Structure 1
Amino acid sequence: MAQVVKRAYKYRFYPTSGQAEELARTFGCVRLVYNKALQERTRVYALEGRRVSYVESSAQLTEWKRSGEFDFLSEVSSVPLQQALRHLQAAFANFFAKRAGYPAFKSRKRSRASAEYTRSAFRWRGGALTLAKMDAPLDIRWSRPLPEGAEPSTVTVSRDAAGRWFVSILVEEEIVPLAPVERSVGVDAGVTALVTLSSGEKIVNPRHERRDRRTLAKAQRNLARKEEGSNNRAKARLKVARVHARIADRRRDFLHKVTTRLVRENQTVVIEDLNVRNMVRNRRLARAISDASWRELRSMLEYKAAWYGRTLMAVDRWFPSSKLCSSCGALREKMPLTIRAWVCACSAVHDRDVNAAKNVLAAGLAES
């Protein structure tokens, strides 16, 4: 049965000089409002021990606009500013529910520059998108079509560190689940092989960061030699950002292809519940683990499985998948990472990763 989901379509666009200036002002105002509201909430909680609501923050925003010091806030659309307060409210809700850490201030250099527009702050006509305070539509590169008859509910404009402009359009889309299949697969995440499947197949890790490591190192050395605050340093920083962006784009594209294939071919996908945050503390493996991006791999599997009627399961991270014989169930006491193949007492010959994937699948099916 088809289900209606909210799905974001992201496109690159090329603003005019006037649009770029307007958006840059909006980004700055959004960051200012978010940081001031966070500062005020922190102050009130420290002095009075109470939480500030979204309604109070919204009233404070009106006062800031009238104070004379921040009257420039009235020059940009009010919707992105209100959305910034809503995002802060959600951040505090997650913090008090112990789902996230305390909200952090937005940095001009390190935070992603973005602004969110709801339906009252943009016009959508004939496939042309015009934002509030602008008299011309955005020059969007439609790399793929929106669903037929789709009406955007939210539009998020952003600029990444490499200076590229993107617009993310949120629409409601009807997704038809895939036809059921008989196959199930266990997935063992790794470094040399990005994933090893219980079928015995290994999908090699392209190691996108390693491929561009020399180019990245050269750009970073060039950046280090530039004078702080100079135009040349800004240009060098942009070159570094472009290399990082190319690596991230290639990695994300590859992960999309791998996860889409796994979801299409299998009714049940079983993975390990890895604690990536702790694993990257290993100095020897941190770079390789980050390049593999296991967390993003799992995230993609989760929402694609939910969309297309598949089942994703995660076995406990302490499950001894590598030390357990998938043939007889015997458990070895130790299994150092240097051992890539081993022979069990039952005479079964195991590839370490394939054996782990088989055990992960068996454990997942047993739980279900």
Structure 2
Amino acid sequence: MQPNQKQLKTIHQTLGTCRWVYNKFIEINQLRYKNKLKYMNGYHFSKWLNNEFIPNNSDKLWIKESASKAVKQSIMNAHQAYQNAFKKQKGFPKFKKKQSTGSYYLIGSIYCERHRIKLPKLGWIQLKEKGYIPNYNIKSATVLKEFDRYYVSVLVDEKPKTIFKPLQTEGIGLDLGLKDTLFTPKGVHIKDLRKNKRLIILNKSLKRQQRKLSRKQKKSNNWFKQLLKVQRLYRKIKHIKQDIKRKSILPIVQENPQYITIEKLNIKGLTKNKNLANAFQQVGLGYIVEWLKQKCCEYGIELRQVDRFYPSSQLCSQCNHRQKMPLYKRTYQCERCGLEMDRDVNASINLKQATDYIVIV
């Protein structure tokens, strides 16, 4: 979208307010914990903030200037982060710092026309891409800031579109790795993103621009201009990687397999490996899994996941013999039956044949 200067000011102010409220929720609960008091949930914190804190602090009236639903959602996000920590699903939430990216949630009177959208507190905003958002049954919107660009994501209540699918084929296994990001039993794969020519050129340019940034005086006008160049390169690299992954996964899902089996990846554990951490971050296996979940849900395909300790690379897909396979060995040669096959194809066949799994979609 293309907000004007007044709308930009409102967006930045709302983002700052949501960040401040989120941090305040964490601060209050940390103080309560130190004083051995009970945890204050999002509902009670919202009542305390609006009925006690703001009326007694005249210098905090600017909180009321932002969209109330955005502030409320920020409180509930912090509350949900604590609930996840209590369930030991994630660590405890940390304070948010001021960043070049951010988002906030809106609900209420949201209307859309072909070339513009009306949002609470912002009014009509021009859209850069026209005709994509339907102008009926709009439930909510999320305003996103990404460096020097602004986006709006809209939730619309409409019937799902009919997807024409071919006859169902047999299930497949997807082996995820570094040398080749994704492999199927037929040999279809995403090549190593680190060898993509376009990405290599952009990464070289990124290093050059980062060196220029390091020579600028921090927080000067030239430093901010150079920082924007670096951020734009990061965004371009990210979008190219996402495009490659999406276009590689879609044909696999469109074949309409009976099921797809993947292995559970310990992404955090893998990134702790000093030798491979950068490689795993460059490939972005987590995004592939999330996009695969979304597409399997859309096409009605069962997505299976085996345990992360399942030895897909060590088993022979023909006789089920198990042997050690260090990373430098790229061909699987079975010591029992003599099968010779690419290790990634062999692993994908083992995943396809796996019987111990959980269904995640």
Same fold (TM over 0.5): yes
Match of 1:292 in 2: 283
Count matched residues.
349
Sort the Cα spacing of 1:32 and 1:303 in 2 relative to 1 into closer, same or farther, 3 A.
Answer: same
Match of 1:308 in 2: 299
**2:140 pairs with one of 110, 132, 154:** 154
1:200 aligns with 2:187: yes
Match of 2:15 in 1: 27
Q: Which amino acid in the other structure matches residue 65 of structure 1?
A: I
SS across alignment from 1:156: strand
**1:117 pairs with one of 106, 114, 120:** 106
Residues 126-177 of structure 1: CA deviation (Å, up to 9, x unaligned): 4542122234x1111236724x5642211111111x3111111112343346
Q: How do 1:100-179 and structure 2 match up within 5 A?
A: 100-109=90-99, 112-118=101-107, 120=108, 122-127=109-114, 128-135=116-123, 137-142=124-129, 145-146=132-133, 150-160=136-146, 162-175=147-160, 176=162, 179=165
Q: Which has the higher contact order (CA 8 A, sep 6+)?
A: 1
Please provide the CA RMSD for this pair: 2.2
- My pick for the range that moved more, 125-134 or 238-247, is 125-134
Residues 177-203 of structure 1: CA deviation (Å, up to 9, x unaligned): 664512311111122222111122333
Give unpaired runs (5+ residues) of structure 1: 1-12
Residues 233-265 of structure 1: CA deviation (Å, up to 9, x unaligned): 111211111111111111112222222222221
Match of 2:219 in 1: 229
Taking the aligned partners of 2:226 and 2:213, their CA distance within structure 1 comes to: 5
Taking the aligned partners of 1:27 and 1:155, their CA distance within structure 2 comes to: 14
Sort the Cα spacing of 1:134 and 1:143 in 2 relative to 1 into closer, same or farther, 3 A.
Answer: closer
1:190 aligns with 2:177: yes
CA contact (8 A) 1:314 1:364 kept: no
Match of 2:346 in 1: 355
Residues 209-239 of structure 1: CA deviation (Å, up to 9, x unaligned): 5442211111111111111221111112111
Sort the Cα spacing of 1:52 and 1:366 in 2 relative to 1 into closer, same or farther, 3 A.
Answer: closer
Percentage of matched positions with identical amino acids = 28
Q: Which amino acid in the other structure matches residue 159 of structure 1?
A: K
Taking the aligned partners of 1:303 and 1:342, their CA distance within structure 2 comes to: 32
CA contact (8 A) 1:177 1:309 kept: no
Q: How do 1:58-69 and structure 2 match up within 5 A?
A: 58-62=46-50, 63-66=52-55, 67-69=57-59
Match of 1:280 in 2: 271
Taking the aligned partners of 2:23 and 2:176, their CA distance within structure 1 comes to: 39
**2:261 pairs with one of 270, 275, 281:** 270
Q: Give the TM-score taking structure 1 as reference length.
A: 0.88
TM-aligned CA deviation for residue 367 of structure 1: 7.8
Taking the aligned partners of 2:93 and 2:304, their CA distance within structure 1 comes to: 31
Q: How do 1:327-366 and structure 2 match up within 5 A?
A: 327-332=318-323, 334-344=324-334, 345-364=336-355
TM-aligned CA deviation for residue 205 of structure 1: 2.8
Q: Which amino acid in the other structure matches residue 137 of structure 2?
A: E
Match of 1:254 in 2: 244
Taking the aligned partners of 1:163 and 1:125, their CA distance within structure 2 comes to: 23
